[in-house]
Amino acid sequence: MSSQVNQDIAERKMQFLFQLRSKGVTDNRVLTAMEKIDRGPFIQGFFADRAYEDTPLPIACGQTISQPSVVALMTQALNVQPRDKVLEVGTGSGYQAAILSQLARRVYTVERHRQLIRTARKAFEELDLGNITAIIGDGSFGLPQQAPFDRIVVTAAAEDPPGPLLAQLRVGGIMVVPVGQSDAVQSLIKVTRTETGFDYDELRPVRFVPLLEGLGKEEYI
Ligand code: SAM
């Protein structure tokens, strides 16, 4: 790669971090993770050139890689601690899981499209992210065999926080989930499990693809 190309990439990355700060990402651990994990390897083909823009982009199976500032703000809201076991529902490209892997002890990520799981696993392997387990399945049921989780993040919009996920959250644990109709602006909700129930905080408006039932269509062919 020529030094001009390297310089361009370095500048785009600097701009990328600047944009995150300007959108309210203040947690240095999150900013360091976002700096370390390059978004480029999680986007293939035509859109790869736009990896450092603060915008969602199309990936395979008609899905999207989320907007980086939203990934960062969701991660910040989770307040992940080094010994945490984290569940992500909606692996997509694998980018959010890779960010979480920098902050947590272990990350489980569940996706309903096998093709996306395959591509994400490859990226995790290439980046040597050994503390992520990527699983094909309907993540709205969580992963009972690995529960309870210290943190849960859902990266697709549910009409309500799914009951099985609430049940798999440890007392003191935090879940971040977009809630609302898929064709409307949704609310990003932070749920904290207490000794006696759940506290709900509304964080900001967001727009996510819907949390769907079952596996992707191609799994049944
Ligand atoms: N976190 C992703 C990333 O970093 O690229 C972005 C995820 S994308 C916005 C939402 C993903 O959730 C899609 O890949 C979609 O297939 C997946 N999804 C939707 N419903 C699901 C379900 N019930 N279980 C697992 N994954 C689901």
Model pLDDT for residues 137-196, shown as the tens digit of each residue: 999 999 999 999 999 999 999 999 999 999 999 999 999 999 998 778 899 999 999 999
Q: Give residue 50's identity as a one-letter amino acid code.
A: R
How many percent of the chain have pLDDT more than 90? 81
Query: Which of the residues 2, 3, 22, 66 is marked catalytic?
Result: 66
Q: What is the per-residue pLDDT for 220?
A: 53
Ligand 1 atom nearest to 140, measured from its CA:
23
pLDDT at 174: 98
Residue 1 banded pLDDT, cuts 50, 70, 90? low
If you average pLDDT over residues 43-48, what whole number do you get?
87
Nearest-angstrom CA–CA distance, 210 and 200? 21
Residue 187 known to be catalytic: no
Atom of ligand 1 nearest to the CA of 211: 20
Predicted confidence at residue 219, as pLDDT, reads 57
Q: Whose CA is nearest to atom 11 of ligand 1?
A: 90
Which of the 8 DSSP states describes residue 144?
A: G
pLDDT of residue 72 exceeding 80, the answer is: yes
Over range 63-68, report the average pLDDT: 95
Token pair for 111: 């996706």
Q: How far is the CA of 22 from the centre of ligand 1 (A)?
A: 26
Over the stretch 78-126, which tens digit does the pLDDT of each residue have?
999 999 999 999 999 999 999 999 999 999 999 999 999 999 999 999 9
CA distance 44 to 125: 16
Residues with CB under 6 A from ligand 1: 63-66, 89-90, 92-93, 95-96, 110-113, 116, 138-140, 155-156, 208-209, 211-212
Best residue for ligand 1 mutational test, from 37, 55, 61, 63 (most atoms within 8 Å of Cβ): 63
Does residue 13 carry a pLDDT above 90? Answer: no
From 89, 116, 119, 176, mutation site for ligand 1 pocket: most ligand atoms within 8 A of C-beta: 89
What pLDDT, on the 0 to 100 scale, is given for residue 44?
85
Please state, in angstroms and rounded to a whole number, the distance separating the CA atoms of residues 75 and 55.
Answer: 17
Q: What is the atom index within ligand 1 of the atom nearest the CA of 59?
A: 5
| Weakest-pLDDT range from 13-17, 39-43, 64-68 | 13-17
**pLDDT tier, 2 (very low <50, low <70, confident <90, very high otherwise):** confident
Residue 40: C-alpha distances to residues 2, 23, 156 (Å): 18, 21, 22
**Element holding 203 (H helix, E strand):** strand 198-206
Domains and CATH numbers, the chain: 3-220 (3.40.50.150)
| Closest residue to atom 27 of ligand 1, CA basis | 90
Residue 66 CA, ligand 1 centroid: distance in Å: 10
Mean confidence (pLDDT) of the chain:
93
pLDDT value at residue 221? 47
